Structure 1
Amino acid sequence: DEFTEERTIGVDFRIKTVDHNGVTTKLQIWDTQGVERFRTGNTNRYRSAHGVVLVFDLTNKKTFENLNWWIKELQYYWRADGIKILVGNKVDSEEREVSSEQGSEYANNMEMCYFETSAANDDNVADAFSSVFIQLLDQVQGKQTVNVKRAR
């Protein structure tokens, strides 16, 4: 699995086929990014989503603070049984403004798994997406959702 570090402008849409324990599933991945000008109109995109990956920049505290807006948005517009995880990106950077503890505590309070990733180095990105996929698959198969702890 490879993910590129290209910056998203607007909305990026990808389809990825994933195999897990003999089950093949197509994932539709919508990257809507959190820039203010794209906030309006996103509700239709994630209203029918089964999983959400909330990503913030570990080197920019404002992106972490903006999570509260997204959580409220999801609580209002999104399904109650949806799977969501929190991802702190740019773990490879020396200029952190958000600690691992802050990210982990926020995720725990919001009942989400937490991952720290580096899109630049492709570090832990596949694990984060796999976590969502496995939880969704378990949910569809009627199993109890796996609680994946923060991985590094």
Structure 2
Amino acid sequence: ADVSIATLFAHVPDGKDALIFDDGDDRHVWLAAAVRERPAGQSVLAALRRCLAERGPFAGDLPPEQRRKRDLIVGTPALREYSRRLWIAAEGPLAEAIAAETGRGPADMTVRALARYVLEIPELAGAEPDPRAALDAVFDLLESGWAERA
């Protein structure tokens, strides 16, 4: 684009990490939609599991260019942290959607905790050797609760 690096970064205040990602606003929309538009009888957690399983490190059938981008993000600590911040920024809208669907308030600690836990899954499970199995393990835990003995 015939622009110096300094000029480019002057227009990208979040730094070079922001050049790899969009602003994350659409994430708020599709996460809330996954909760609000889930099929009758499907739990909030099942809807969110399905939604995440189709994206990022969990999607199995990505086109090669998206697979390269995913691998770059997962393999670069600074990009993974930036990605995590974008995920966590969706906590408020996701908590509002969960609250609306469960009859609780968005400030309810259990609603906020569930939203945060779900939004931590891409960072936590995305770099595992089998990201999809890790995603399923975390959702299994969220759905059944912690058992002291395996």
TM-score by length of 2: 0.35
Kindly indicate which of the two structures has a greater share of residues assigned to strand. 1
Structure with the bigger RCO (C-alpha within 8 Å, sep 6+) is 2
| Larger Cα-atom Rg | 2
Higher helix share: 2
